[in-house]
Structure 1
Amino acid sequence: MLTVGRIVRAHGVRGEVTVHVRTDVPDERFGPGSVLNVTASARTASSGRPRTSSGSSPVRSAGRDIPAGQRLPSSLTVNRIRWHQGRLLVVFDGITDRTAAESLRGAELQVEVDDAEQPSDPEEFFDHQLTGLRVVTTEGDDVGEVAEVIHGAAQDMLAVRLPDGSQALVPFVSAIVPDIDVDAGRVVIDPPAGLLDLHLSGESER
């Protein structure tokens, strides 16, 4: 699955929502009639991003808690879209007022992609391309493997599973992740001093 956007908030009173776009081809992914899968969890989604910068607990989704028990539709069909001040506004079939639109706030929007599909930019990667890759430092030291890509409001992070089973969060920016070779199954990182130790100690204290 590929995450193509996140619903930020309702816009107006007629069912429009503002979408934070996570795709280079929004007019294609959000074309009228497109069916998008819906999930409340940002951590389980797949997304192509450039290297730039059911329990009782709420699910954290990019800056907003989605309360447990809040029912989201399994999918939404795009009715129409428009751009407003650089932001994508979307109307979905069946979402006709602000209350319905607001109930979607924080939801991740996903599409199915073929495993062979590649991002158009060589500096971009889909999450499924990165998950499982070996992580090494610029000096060649083994660090672990990519467990998942976490998409945050400020920046994306690589969750790296360390040999002891704990995880370190590595900012997914070119200064810290200078090289990715999917064919070789390797991610090279140049972590600032103490970055991995900080996360290791944080895990051990829990």
Structure 2
Amino acid sequence: MSIVLARIGKPHGLRGEVTVQLHTDEPERRFALGEVLDTEAAQGSGVPRQLTIRSTRVHNGTWLLAFEEIPDRTGAEGLRGARLVLEEAAAATDPDEEAWSEDDLLGLQVRDPAGEVLGEVTGLEIGPAQDRLVIELTDGVTAYVPFVEALVPTIAEDHVVVDAPPGLFDLYREAGE
């Protein structure tokens, strides 16, 4: 099992840079120069199993990475959709990394900040802008909550706390009618 650090997006420029959608709170550390990262990509895509960070920068709020193994835009285009991952064993040895895999979250009880049971975690969607918890509410409705600390401030061994904005779950109930 691995933990997704980022998903590679489109190429940027001619020298092999790519945009990335971050899934880590520590991009400066995870994407340091010379860092070797494992990849996950579609079978037969030609994406190397590992990529070495050649450069990192932020351009207009978007993280751009370049890799030693990818010299140009053509190579960068081939990386689109691949994930940069950290093996779970490596993450377990890193006490600073707060990363959660879908397996860690499935079946956890969902509570509001007052402790009232709202439902159960049934999935984790890796999205283009951010990840979302998939929750089956106690009335059987499926709802989605952005998996960010502001809305999911606590993850415990047997539950998560979801501090949803007023009316969020009502939107899903109304859509199901």
Change (3 A) 1:120 1:144: same
Q: Quick one: which amino acid aligns to residue 2 of structure 1?
A: I
**Structure 2 CA distance for aligned equivalents of residues 174 and 89 of structure 1:** 25
Give the aligned residue type for 1:15: G
Q: CA deviation at 1:81?
A: 1.4
Give the 3 Å change call, closer, same or farther, for CA 191–116 of structure 1 in structure 2: same
Q: Distance in 2 between matches of 1:125 and 1:85?
A: 22
* Coordinate RMSD, CA, aligned: 3.3
Q: What TM-score, normalized to structure 2?
A: 0.71
Q: Kindly report which structure 2 residues correspond to 1:16-55, keeping only aligned pairs within 5 A, or say none.
A: 16-23=17-24, 24=26, 27-28=29-30, 32=34, 34-39=36-41
How far off is 1:160 after superposition?
0.9
> Does the 8 Å CA contact 1:17/1:91 hold for their aligned counterparts?
no
Aligned to 1:113: 88
Which stretches in structure 1 are left out of the alignment for 5+ residues? 41-69
Choose the corresponding residue for 1:199, options 151, 155, 172.
172
Aligned AA (1:182): A
Structure 2 unaligned regions, length at least 5: none
Mapped contact 2:52–2:68 kept (Cα < 8 A): yes
Cα 1:131–1:91 shift into 2, 3 Å: same
The alignment-based identity, stated in percent, is 36
The code of the aligned residue for 2:81 comes to G
Q: Structure 2 residue aligned with 1:84, among 46, 53, 57?
A: 57
Q: For 1:1-16, what aligned pairs fall within 5 Å after superposition?
A: 1-16=2-17
AA at the equivalent of 1:149: L
Deviates more, 1:26-35 or 1:157-166: 26-35
Higher relative contact order (CA 8 A, sep 6+): 1
Supply the AA of the counterpart residue of 1:12: G
The C-alpha deviation readout for 1:109-136, integer Å capped at 9, x for no partner, is: 2231127445516xx4423433332101
TM-score (norm 1): 0.63
Aligned to 1:167: 142
Map of 2:123 onto structure 1:
148
Contact kept, 8 Å, 2:31 with 2:53, in 1: the verdict is no
Aligned length in residues: 170
Question: Hey, what does 1:48 align to over in structure 2?
Answer: none
Mapped pair 1:100 → 2:101: no
Tell me which residue corresponds to 1:57. Answer: none
The 3-state SS of whatever aligns with 1:201 is helix
Distance 1:92 1:166, change over 3 A: farther
Aligned 8 A contact 1:80 1:90 in 2: yes
Deviation at 1:79, TM superposition (A): 3.9
